[in-house]
Amino acid sequence: MSLSHETIVIVGTGFAGLGMAIRLKKSGIENFVLLEKADEVGGTWRDNHYPGAACDVPSPVYSFSFEPNPNWTRVFSPQAEILEYLKHCADKYQIRSHIRFHSLVQSASFDEKSGLWTVHIEGQPALMCRFLILGTGGLSRPAYPDIPGLKDYQGPLFHTAAWRHDVPLRGKRVGVIGTGASAIQVIPELVHEVQELKVFQRTPAWVLPKADGVLPKRSQAGNWFLRKALYWRFEMRALALLKPKLMRFGQKMAMEYLEEQVKDPVLRKKLTPRYIMGCKRVLLSNDFYQAMSLPQTRLITDGIERIKPGGIKTRDGVEHELDVVICATGFQVAEATAPFRIVGRSGQVLSEVWKDGAQAYLGTTVTGFPNLFIIVGPNSGLGHNSIVFIIESQVQYIMDALRQALRSRWSSVEVRPDVQVAFNDKIQKLLAPTVWSREHCRSWYQTPSGKNTTIWPGFSFTFRLKTLQFDAAAYDCRVSETVGETVQPQLNPLHSR
């Protein structure tokens, strides 16, 4: 069986886009193209190259199941190794010839009559395809803080996800805004270089030690058991996220760790979290608390009033003079956003449909947007295990959808509205008793009104079970006798490249 008379467009070349492309290739499908806004593959692992950037999930599980890497040097790999791994995957599976770099997608619209998507790319002719697959990820757009005066600051100000390696930090007075996953990795790296480090914290986070270490080659080369053992160890963490009562054990461990690491009771109090563990991502670090305890570091908790040309003014009236300001303030995730303007059947725009919170079926398909597949879409994110596991589940599901579509000559597949509604009602019900729904729990997983549109409320293996096969009965599948012919003329420009 072949899909060769169809055209598939994938947007993005991170784990999701590459994982999808490799799977197509392995199935003998060649007529697909990947659109990448940058000049290299890697997605978030290409863009987040701040000092100390590393994964907080062990690499043997934070990698493709079909491509074990015997070269990881540590249990939790640094960013450069993960980027190398993704480049290696692109090369080994000959994906690069399918990639159009410097291709920023501006919009995409679906034509109901032909069952085709038209994809508009900045500075390039539009592209048509039958299936559009988004591998654009949730953590690709840096969020700068909404603080008055941000633009008035006269020194270098940048985001961890857009690190300025050209800005010298040695001997400078540096301010870091935020104490999330990125901040706790970058702070221990900066602290030994700068003259003074001021960390502006809004909410203290839960931190546990990281069981990191050198990973000997012999223990990992193709080691199926290592992968499985790590997967199940991390999978167990879901228990406490789903049953908040169990979280007291994790909290106790974290408090003991804080007490052992931070001797100063005032600093310790400032670093003590005030919400239930797991509500926000649990952070893993062996050196964050040590860095915060050094004499050149100051933790500022008075709240930022505004940014001034020479530094940051806090609500207690103090003006902190700074040579450089770094925003470790996360990403634009839970807002009702799609990566670009996506116009579905009947002219509906995805970001408008999602204005009160993103919604999909199995985090992958959306009513009103036929032939569109989203990898790591709404409520498919994890707080406890490797997202690559979810990506591979969705890739399997999409692959099965494409196979069935070809076999049955469907011109379009669209998830039924009743199915999507029932699925999301269930998701919200499952979320209700979890840590993410506890009082005072606010995180980037939620919309401004508090709806969690990001997290999969269960074990990752239950997601895998639900996505093993494309469940055509949940979809409105339209048949067309001219599927191949309709799309064929659009294939030529792609193949002439």
Residue among 146, 166, 439, 481 that touches ligand N01 (CB under 6 A): 146
Kindly state the smallest distance separating residue 40's Cβ from ligand N01, in Å. 19
Residue 352 backbone dihedrals phi, psi, to 5 degrees: -75, -40
By the rule CB under 6 A, 59 interacts with ligand N01? no
Size of the site for ligand N01 (CB under 6 A): 25
By the rule CB under 6 A, 312 interacts with ligand N01? no
By the rule CB under 6 A, 172 interacts with ligand N01? no
Kindly state the smallest distance separating residue 179's Cβ from ligand N01, in Å. 4
By the rule CB under 6 A, 56 interacts with ligand N01? yes
By the rule CB under 6 A, 304 interacts with ligand N01? yes
By the rule CB under 6 A, 300 interacts with ligand N01? no
- The answer for residues whose C-beta is within 8 angstroms of residue 439's C-beta and 6 or more apart is none
**Distance of alpha carbon 144 from alpha carbon 139, whole angstroms:** 13
By the rule CB under 6 A, 376 interacts with ligand N01? no
Residue among 136, 220, 297, 329 that touches ligand N01 (CB under 6 A): 329
Tell me the one-letter amino acid at 169. L
**Distance of alpha carbon 197 from alpha carbon 199, whole angstroms:** 6
Kindly state the smallest distance separating residue 405's Cβ from ligand N01, in Å. 33
**Distance of alpha carbon 342 from alpha carbon 355, whole angstroms:** 13
**Distance of alpha carbon 456 from alpha carbon 97, whole angstroms:** 34
**Distance of alpha carbon 200 from alpha carbon 374, whole angstroms:** 35
Torsion of CA 223, 375, 452, 139, to 10 degrees: 80
Nearer to ligand N01, 56 or 212 (CB): 56
Residue among 118, 203, 293, 351 that touches ligand N01 (CB under 6 A): 203
**Distance of alpha carbon 92 from alpha carbon 81, whole angstroms:** 16
**Partners of 314 in the beta sheet?**
304
Nearer to ligand N01, 32 or 200 (CB): 200
**Distance of alpha carbon 4 from alpha carbon 364, whole angstroms:** 23
Residues 173 and 323 sit within 8 Å (Cβ to Cβ): yes
According to CB under 6 A, which residues from 417 to 446 bind ligand N01?
444
Residue among 23, 281, 384, 451 that touches ligand N01 (CB under 6 A): 281
Residue among 58, 180, 370, 377 that touches ligand N01 (CB under 6 A): 180
The tokens describing 268, both together, are 């310790």
| DSSP three-state, residue 227 | helix
According to CB under 6 A, which residues from 77 to 106 bind ligand N01?
none
By the rule CB under 6 A, 26 interacts with ligand N01? no
The contact set with ligand N01 (CB under 6 A) reads 54-56, 139, 145-147, 177-183, 185, 200, 202-203, 281, 304, 328-331, 444
